[in-house]
Structure 1
Amino acid sequence: MAEYDYDLFVIGAGSGGVRAARVSAAYGAKVAIAEEHKVGGTCVIRGCVPKKLLVYGAHFAEDLKDARKFGWKLDGEPDFDWATLRDNVLSEVERINGAYTDTLNSHDVEIFHERATVSGPNEITLASGDTKTAKYILIATGAWPHVPEFPGSEHVVTSNEVFHLEELPRRVVIAGAGYIANEFAGIFNKLGSRVTLVNRSDVILRQYDHSIRDRLLQIATTKGIEFCFHAEFESIEKQDDGSLLVKVTNHEPREADLVLVATGRVPNTDGLGLDSAGVELDEDGAIKVDEYSKTNIDSIYAVGDVTNRVQLTPVAIREGHAFADTVFNGKPTTVDYDCIPSAVFSHPPLAGVGMTESEARNTLGSIKVYQSDFRAMKNVLAERNERALYKMITDADTDRIVGLHMIGPDAPEILQAAAVAVKAGLSKSDFDNVVALHPTMAEELVLLR
């Protein structure tokens, strides 16, 4: 008889766990995976996929208005139905959940649709009470929204619940200033809600270049989003009519129909039984791993947000694949975390790769900054006074591009290809030598002065 029930048991069927399970099985491993919710994890079920679909839906508010300038005759004001968008988005989530499940089934990965915990270095206990053994255990349970505690905090929702709202709220208060907060601020604003964003400091999207985030703040304010800076929640009171009275420091109280907390995500390690196997956690509750995603216990690995390295879906996928290559393909593989592109699907979206201007000055000292501040052709004809901003940062001594940042229509789509050049260490002159593709917004990248 085999020493273990499985070669690999994965806890968590998100992006990283599914990739690790599928690739490991393709290499010949006997694999099982446990998921207490739906296959697909945060990104597919309650994160980037449904959120991006809401972003698309919200964009029609401006597109329909602009269409009149392009000759389209629209009778009366467009009528938006939240339930239609919500239900269609959730249907798409179900479709993708089925596709992920089919992928695992086609690779003979056994799926347990229940919670699993670690009960030893090679043992897993299922919610049903059954125990399984595995030569290797991979933890891929992701992260969970952080909800600060204050009087009335039980009345808030997080990004987990916001996709299931019964009706569109007229007044929304959002706590936080990161990508989730700004994305939902843009979504609700365009769908017609009155939006207030509450933040403890006066900086939004701290990790992005200051010029780009300042431009978003300017545009968002123009669109009607209110920002309450240097504010912390004091209390939320539910009133007789069902509305919420929100009190924050340094600002007047305000009424809301929905309070969305988007103040970060914490590694999802509570109750996993990791202490029973002696797995070490850091001060934030994240699983400590080495460059090959191995914990201090040789048989237990972890990938994705639960390790709190870089909380991005594509990173979790790469970590899961690297794990499979390392453990089941005899090819030790690490993930390169340098120069990872990222985006915020705000209105308008922004994206960046490499060092910000401040980081470049602190790291390199001597740099050159090239910018293009312009109105997209579509916005000009639509008489929309919204300007895009592209910014390139180079090492002054070598001409090498060390950072590229932009805000404007389709900025993430444009940056993806440009990020390849930045990662490859190309220079500003390499961009200059490329003939512009006209008329496009992307051509600004090879015309920067």
Structure 2
Amino acid sequence: MSDFDYDLFVIGGGSGGVRAARVAAGEADAKVGLAEEDRYGGTCVIRGCVPKKLMVFASEYGEVVEDARNYGWDLKEGAFDWKGFKDSLNTELDRLEGVYRSLLKNSGVDSFDARAKVKDPHTVELSTGETFTAKHILLATGGRPVRPDLPNADLGIVSDDIFHLPELPKSILIVGGGYIACEFACILNGLGVEVTQIYRGAQILRGFDEEARGLIADSMKDRGVDLHLGTDIVEMRCATDEDLEGNPDGRIPMGTPMHEDPALHPEGGKRGGPIWVKATNGRARVFDAVFFATGRAPNTVDMGLEEIGVKLGRKGEVEVDKYSQTAVPSIYAIGDVTDRVNLTPVAIREGMAFVETVFKGNPTPVDHELIPSAVFTQPEFGTVGLSEEEAREQEPVEIYSTSFRPMQTAFAGRPDRVMMKLVVSKETRRVLGCHIVAPGAGEMIQLAGIAVKMGATKEDFDRTVAVHPTMSEEIVTMRKPVRSA
């Protein structure tokens, strides 16, 4: 008979926590409890990957009618029905949450719909007042979007809010240049929203391959996103009647100089209405909504972690070793709360490695090398391995790159361009990085990622026969480097 109520207690019902809980219970015969304060499925299923990707699909249909006409079809344009889409979206999310709950139940995991905090190295306390002891505690609480430190920042929305809007705004300002900002800029633009995006950096998608970033930025502008780089917000407030005079829909051109009259800064106005924004470029305008995509923070606030010896990093992330173990031996952490690689499949892998290590007697470090990923902009961006810039700092490399208009959209008269790129080690000939900017790049990079992970050389790619006519055949037909360093 165990001295603890549970062998494992998991805090967090997202993809990583649920996988660890049900595998520990179902395959390792552990007694497992799990607490989730919100909806099961976590950020990915409820507030991130899944609803976002469905919105990506919805936004892409806007170009179908025009393209179809160029292919000979007689189709009529229609309006996007946000309410109808949102109802279907909520139905799907409810279904997926039900799947997660069923997986836990069928594995024998005890689930608690409550917030949990750590009371001591072996005890968790729920918001219901219940306490449970556990031999091991797994933190899988994920992260949350954060607003900038700016007066009236609460007037803006964040990514968690976008799926709950009662109606789409006519105009929106997106603040940020990371993948969330860029994805939603493309999504909302595709759904007919007038999108302005500002980012304080010199180029969007910092940290990714420079050539790919540039192509995506140009494509976003060509599609109608009003992108301003080297720009940030300095002031925002509720718009006044005077701000809206002559512009009842709030759509004042971005080039309109701001009005310096102090009378335009009263305390009045209603939250949820149009928002007046002043930018660092000295311009101002009114938007129906402001969307902050300025970063995320680990969910470690008020959990009692530091009080019992769990070490937190500068951002509040839980510090762990290669086995996901914290400074307190009985407590482990996986997923976004550790701020290692914040991707759902990585959290799942970390959860599986945790079970192997703790419950199956097979110490398994987590492999964070050469992880393929995708950014669902339009066009998509798939990437694995080193960017050209990173590789150049590491060793001499050759760059194989091509950019062209793909057959499908070129025939329809669209100016879209795609890019295929390989970063190759001069010494070993291994492909150090693969970068694809194209429709369906996320699907392509998954398969390319296998080859890169296996250590394939450029000559291995060359020996592979092309699938013709496809965009992806360019990955195996680039014979001469465009540059070397």
TM-score range normalised by the length of the shorter chain: over 0.9
Map of 1:80 onto structure 2: 80
Check if 1:50 corresponds to 2:51: yes
Show the counterpart of 2:362.
Answer: 331
Alignment of 1:242-261 (within 5 A): 242-261=273-292
Matched, 1:447 2:477: yes
Matches of 1:276 and 1:6 in 2, distance apart?
22
My pick for the range that moved more, 133-142 or 83-92, is 83-92
**For 1:364-383, what aligned pairs fall within 5 Å after superposition?**
364=395, 366-383=396-413
- Show the counterpart of 2:463: 433
- Residue 191 of structure 1 is matched in structure 2 by 191
Paired residue for 2:19? 19
Runs of 4+ in 1 over 3 A off after TM superposition: none
Q: 3-state DSSP class of the match of 1:185? A: helix
3-state secondary structure, aligned to 1:331: coil
Aligned match of 1:388:
418
One-letter identity of the residue aligned with 2:435: H
Cα drift, residue 276 of structure 1:
3.2
Indicate whether 1:90 and 2:120 are aligned: no
Alpha-carbon distance between aligned partners in 2 of 1:137 and 1:111, rounded to the nearest angstrom: 14
Contact 1:22 1:104 in 2 (8 A): yes
Counterpart CA distance in 2 for 1:370 and 1:283 is 39
CA–CA distance in structure 1, aligned partners of residues 310 and 30 of structure 2: 24
**Bigger Cα displacement from structure 2, 66-75 vs 300-309:** 66-75
- Is 2:155 the partner of 1:155? yes
| Residue type at the aligned position of 2:38 | H
Q: Secondary structure at the match of 1:205?
A: coil
| Preserved contact between residue 147 and residue 154 of structure 2 (Cα < 8 Å) | no
Instruction: Classify the secondary structure of the residue corresponding to 2:402.
Output: strand
Counterpart position of 2:394: 363
Matched-pair identity in %:
47
Aligned ranges 1:183-332 → 2 under 5 Å: 183-240=183-240, 242-332=273-363
Residue identity opposite 2:141 in structure 1: T
CA–CA distance in structure 1, aligned partners of residues 416 and 282 of structure 2:
29
How big is the shift at 1:343? 1.0
Q: Take 2:219 and 2:358, find their aligned partners in 1: how far apart are those partners?
A: 48
Normalization by structure 2: what TM-score? 0.91
Secondary structure of residue in 2 paired with 1:213: helix
1:41 corresponds in structure 2 to 42
Tell whether 2:380 aligns with 1:344.
no
**Does the aligned pair in 1 maintain the 2:239–2:286 contact within 8 Å?**
no
Cα distance, 1:2 vs structure 2:
2.9
For residue 90 of structure 1, give the secondary structure of its aligned residue in structure 2.
helix
The offset of 1:280, in angstroms, is 1.0
Could you tell me how far apart the structure 2 residues matched to 1:193 and 1:8 are? 47
Cα pair 1:151 1:234 within 8 Å, conserved: no
* Alpha-carbon distance between aligned partners in 2 of 1:338 and 1:136, rounded to the nearest angstrom: 27
Matches for 1:61-72 after TM superposition, within 5 Å = 61-72=62-73
Secondary structure at 2:369's aligned position in 1? coil
Residues 246 and 255, structure 1, Cα contact 8 Å, conserved in 2: yes
In the TM superposition, residue 335 of structure 1 has moved relative to its aligned partner by 1.2
Query: Hey, what's the Cα distance between the residues in 2 that align with 1:212 and 1:93?
Result: 33
Structure 1 unaligned spans of 5+: none
TM-score normalised to structure 1 length: 0.98
Alpha-carbon distance, 1:275 to partner: 2.5
C-alpha distance in 2 between matches for 1:101 and 1:272 = 24
Deviation, structure 1 residue 398? 2.1
> How big is the shift at 1:240?
4.5
Q: Does the aligned pair in 1 maintain the 2:306–2:312 contact within 8 Å?
A: no
Q: Which amino acid aligns with 1:447?
A: T
The 8 Å contact of residues 153 and 235 in structure 1, kept in 2 or not, is answered as no
> Which residue identity is paired with 1:300?
I
Query: What letter is aligned with 1:51?
Result: K
Helix, strand or coil: the match of 2:73?
A: coil
Render the CA deviation track for 1:348-382: whole Å, top value 9, x for unaligned.
11111111111111101x21111121111111211
Matched residue, 2:60: 59
Cα deviation digits, residues 52-80 of structure 1 (max 9, x gap): 000000000112221111222113x3221
Amino acid at match of 2:177: A
What SS does the aligned partner of 1:371 have?
strand
Where do residues 402-421 of structure 1 align in structure 2 (5 Å cutoff)? 402-421=432-451
Mean Cα deviation higher: 149-158 or 7-16 = 149-158
Q: 1: distance between equivalents of 2:385 and 2:391?
A: 9
2:257 maps to none
Amino acid at match of 1:45: I
* SS of structure 1 residue aligned to 2:317: coil
Give RMSD over aligned pairs.
Answer: 1.1
Residue 337 (structure 1) shift: 0.8
